[in-house]
Amino acid sequence: MDKNRISLTKFALIFSLIAVCVISLGLFINSSPVVKPQEVVPKGYNSPVELPTSIVFAGETIPLTNFDVRESLDRELLVNSYFQSQTILYLKKSKRYFHLIEPILKKNNIPDDFKYLSLAESGFQEKVISPAGAVGLWQLMKKAALENGLEVGIEVDERYHAEKSTEAACRYLNRSYHQYGNWVNVAASYNAGISGIKRQTELQDSRNYFDLQLNDETARYVHRILALKLILENPEKYGFKVTEEEKYPLLSCKEVVVSGSVTNLANYAHNQGINYKILKYFNPWLRQSYLKNPSRKSYSIKIPEPGTRTFGL
């Protein structure tokens, strides 16, 4: 009886020692620090855009150290960076329209950055009309167009003429610069009018656009131009990649001078080896299906070079 009790006691002691060793060994093995798995950012995760530390528009430094200016630019960068379809279309159109606009700006001593103003105005849509009645690449109202040398009538509306409307916009911009001597204010005046900005500078006793309390549209206007400039100058930084091959190509045309009337522009187009649709595409300033031209004014009509497009019967 005693021998059995002693045997059981020894067995219990040995079992306890083994258990202690096993537990200790487990604690030793698991004593290394627990490494948390790295946080994985899911695909398609949207993040804020990176703001530049500085930006220059038309040779003038923008005061990005001011919180309100930075936040206004941030808003427009976000809007245009995340409106991907529209911004990609801007990038694809840029080659064609910058090629047209840049030499005219240069000839008229307007800073090259104003090509982004045209983009902000129209999205490079030559036939777009605003609810207020502004027309074309530069969104010219009838009064402003007439004041700056364009013909606006039933048969001919040169606000739809890419080159002539750009010349008219340059005349407006130069007149505004004569008033302000400041290109940022000139850009703002294109939205609010020369007299509109002048009235606010006098009322608020400040000539600095960024210090003026303006209506929401004009307050956002220059920042939107700045945002478009940043994105189009460095698209990959803002998540866009459009190759040169993917941009819309330049289209070569010859010009045919018409000094009389054209009773049927569809027949005229066929005689030039094109069709009515393409005639109107290259000459949207022709507003009717005819050109009576009672004053016998000379007009240059663009005709695409052979091979630009094929035509059915």
Q: What is the pLDDT of residue 288?
A: 98
AA letter at 46: N
Contact between residue 182 and residue 201 where contact means Cβ atoms under 8 Å apart: no
Is there a single domain that holds both residue 242 and residue 268?
Answer: no
Is there a single domain that holds both residue 155 and residue 287?
Answer: no
Is there a single domain that holds both residue 163 and residue 283?
Answer: no
Distance CA 97, CA 194 (A): 26
Is there a single domain that holds both residue 150 and residue 238?
Answer: yes
Q: What is the DSSP letter of 310?
A: -
Residues above pLDDT 90, as percent of the chain: 83
Q: Is residue 22 part of a domain?
A: no
Q: Which residue, of 221, 246, 271, is where some domain finishes?
A: 246
Q: Which residues contact 72 (CB under 8 A, 6 or more apart)?
A: 219, 220, 223
Range of the domain at 216: 56-246
The domain total for the chain is: 2
Q: Is residue 20 part of a domain?
A: no
> Where would I find the H helices in 65-215?
67-81, 84-107, 115-122, 142-147, 162-180, 183-192, 194-204
Q: What is the pLDDT of residue 43?
A: 61
Pairing between strand 60-61 and 56-57?
antiparallel
Q: Which residue, of 228, 246, 264, is where some domain finishes?
A: 246
Q: Which residue, of 224, 246, 268, is where some domain finishes?
A: 246
Q: What is the pLDDT of residue 31?
A: 46
- Residue 187, domain CATH: 1.10.530.10
Contact between residue 137 and residue 162 where contact means Cβ atoms under 8 Å apart: yes
Say what the pTM is: 0.85
Among 1-5, 82-86, 216-220, 306-310, top mean pLDDT goes to: 216-220
Is there a single domain that holds both residue 64 and residue 120?
Answer: yes
Is there a single domain that holds both residue 231 and residue 259?
Answer: no
pLDDT tens digits for range 112-154: 999 999 999 999 999 999 999 999 999 999 999 999 999 999 9
